Chain A
Amino acid sequence: MSYGYVALAAVLLICVIALPLAVALVGGATHYGEVFSDRELGKVAFNTAAFAFASVSLEMCLGLLFAIVLHQTFLLRGIVRAIALIPWALPTAVMAMSWKWIFNDSYGVANDLAIRLSLVGHGIAWLGRPGAAFAAIVLADVWKTTPFVTIILLAGLQSIPRDLYDAMSIDGAGPLQRFRLVTLPLLRPSIALALTFRLIQAIGIFDLVRVMTGGGPADSTKTVALYIYDVLISYGMPEYGAALTGVVALATFLVAATFGALARGRARA
């Protein structure tokens, strides 16, 4: 029976994820009402949305730029492509320690560079001030996940037939026109794929924030995932955590599906 081939995968997914998820969603049933009057959730949801918006929009732009660069032919392209993958392949929590060191207020290289470039007069406590801590986390996330966007968009670029560009050139179209009329429309499915996955991951961000700021200062960088962790482990409220999971998972799914569909746009219609 050919269904036997999917049995192991199905058993793993159902027993390890789906069943516990169903049990938790039912177990949290009496707590869903509280979720909507939870003021802390409102605050962390706002932080999460701001983080997701800032980091994902920067990553999409930079990722597109990198993908276009890597699509050109140049010496040592294979190695440069591998280098472009490295940030994505390194453990986020571990590299978050490096970022914490880079942004250290007394000995960090970020302050030294900023002073040398006359961007600031004296050192900043990067991770100790709300706005600066947010910026530091966004920068670290852009560094970490732009490669993911790059590789998806590079795949999209490689699938665009060369003849289309040649035909446009014969018709006298310049590089900008070719980009707008050929590259962008044909890249839409790849952009939608990258955007959907990036939004899901950004909404669920945990390790980077947990290690770099712990959600501080004064909860200004606390995200939904950090809040769920606190509810479960620090506050010891598993049933409320389960109810939160239901609401947040649904919201994540809706946001990703909406933006994915928007990005796919005409390509689907």
Chain B
Amino acid sequence: MRRIGVALGVAFLVVFCLAPFLWTVLTSVKPGPEVFAMPPTYLPRALSAENYTGVLEQRPFARYLLNSLIVAAASTALALTAGALAAYGIARLRMRAAGTIEKGIFLFALFPPAILLAPLRGAVLTVGLMNSYVALILVHAALNVPFAVWMLAAFFRQMPKELEDAARVDGFSRLQILSRIVLPVSAPALAATAILVFIFSWNEFVIALAFMTRDEMRTLPVGISLLSGATAYEIPWGQICAAVVMTTLPVTAAVLAFQRWIISGLTAGAVKG
């Protein structure tokens, strides 16, 4: 009984989570006319790469990809540096007011980016940084600092104290302890945090939409969401699905490859939470 229940639950979960993505993959590999076949074909009658070559040749997909990579990589580096230092200070150093500082940082996680659009856009207009990487990188980094602190503080708290004590006896300075002992030991937690922050920045939509008004500065999600045909009746759904697959496949691969670290990192944070 119990086994059948679990099997049914697992089957439902897998189908529910994968179906929309699989349907997009299937559409993307169909040749032009079959994309619009009625009724739709559940197994493609023929395979074709034309949607992929089409979107790469006719649309500035490579440029969107480059923009997304620059913004996500730089904001991840910044958020991870700021987050790791703060988390270490909060979790491991006997700082007075550590609790207050931690709560203060988490306060910033309570605002969805879309609600913060007015102040953020106002600031960017004031300093004249529309259509620049710098503004988007700084905003993505700042928005992800609370999450990085949350994940890493939970990890640092679990670390055995003896490691640092031994290093202190050996005459290491605090920064040396952090760089030579703590960070190497924390590599899995740092990697999990970095992957998730990278994904959050890679996926972010509303700020990127509002900050980047020139087509050549758009990031992937914004660029893809604005893909359309010459008229409403010519929407290139095959190409759109190909673009969706190319954007989501790296994320899917990263989640599958690092699932153990990601899940243990997230659950460690959530239990402390």
Chain A residues engaging chain B, CB cutoff 8 angstroms:
2-10, 12-13, 16-21, 23-25, 27-28, 65-66, 68-70, 72, 74, 78-87, 89-99, 101-102, 104, 106-107, 109, 112, 143, 147, 151-152, 154-156, 158-159, 189-190, 193, 197, 200-201, 203-207, 210-211, 224-225, 228-229, 232-233, 238, 241-242, 244-245, 248-249, 252-253, 256
**Residues in B whose Cβ lies below 8 Å from that of A241:** 117-118
Contact with B14, one of A6, A23, A80, A206 (Cβ below 8 angstroms): A80
Is the pair A242, B221 in contact by a Cβ cutoff of 8 Å?
A: no
Chain B residues engaging chain A, CB cutoff 8 angstroms:
6-7, 9-10, 13-14, 16-18, 20-21, 23-24, 27, 35-40, 78-79, 81-83, 85-86, 88-90, 93-95, 101, 105, 108-123, 125, 138-139, 141-143, 145-146, 149, 174, 199, 202-203, 205-206, 209-210, 220-222, 224-225, 227, 237, 240-241, 243-244, 247-248, 251-252, 254-256, 259-260, 262-263, 266-271, 273
Is the pair B263, A5 in contact by a Cβ cutoff of 8 Å?
A: no
Is the pair B138, A16 in contact by a Cβ cutoff of 8 Å?
A: yes
* Cβ-closest chain B residue relative to A25: B119
Is the pair B221, A93 in contact by a Cβ cutoff of 8 Å?
A: yes
Is the pair B40, A2 in contact by a Cβ cutoff of 8 Å?
A: no
A45 vs chain B, min Cβ distance (A): 13
B185 vs chain A, min Cβ distance (A): 17
A4 vs chain B, min Cβ distance (A): 8
* Cβ-closest chain A residue relative to B227: A97
B252 vs chain A, min Cβ distance (A): 6
Is the pair A158, B248 in contact by a Cβ cutoff of 8 Å?
A: no
**Residues in A whose Cβ lies below 8 Å from that of B149:** 9
Is the pair A78, B112 in contact by a Cβ cutoff of 8 Å?
A: no
Is the pair B20, A96 in contact by a Cβ cutoff of 8 Å?
A: no
Task: Using A190-B270, A204-B114, A232-B121 as known contacts, say yes or no to A12 and B6 having CB atoms under 8 A apart.
Answer: no
Complex Cα distance A79/B93, Å?
37
Complex Cα distance A269/B121, Å?
42
**Residues in A whose Cβ lies below 8 Å from that of B205:** 91-93, 206-207, 210
Complex Cα distance A228/B114, Å?
8
Complex Cα distance A101/B256, Å?
26
Is the pair B251, A91 in contact by a Cβ cutoff of 8 Å?
A: yes
Complex Cα distance A136/B220, Å?
24
Is the pair A85, B251 in contact by a Cβ cutoff of 8 Å?
A: no
**Residues in B whose Cβ lies below 8 Å from that of A225:** 112, 114-115, 117, 206
Is the pair A82, B255 in contact by a Cβ cutoff of 8 Å?
A: yes
Complex Cα distance A101/B238, Å?
10
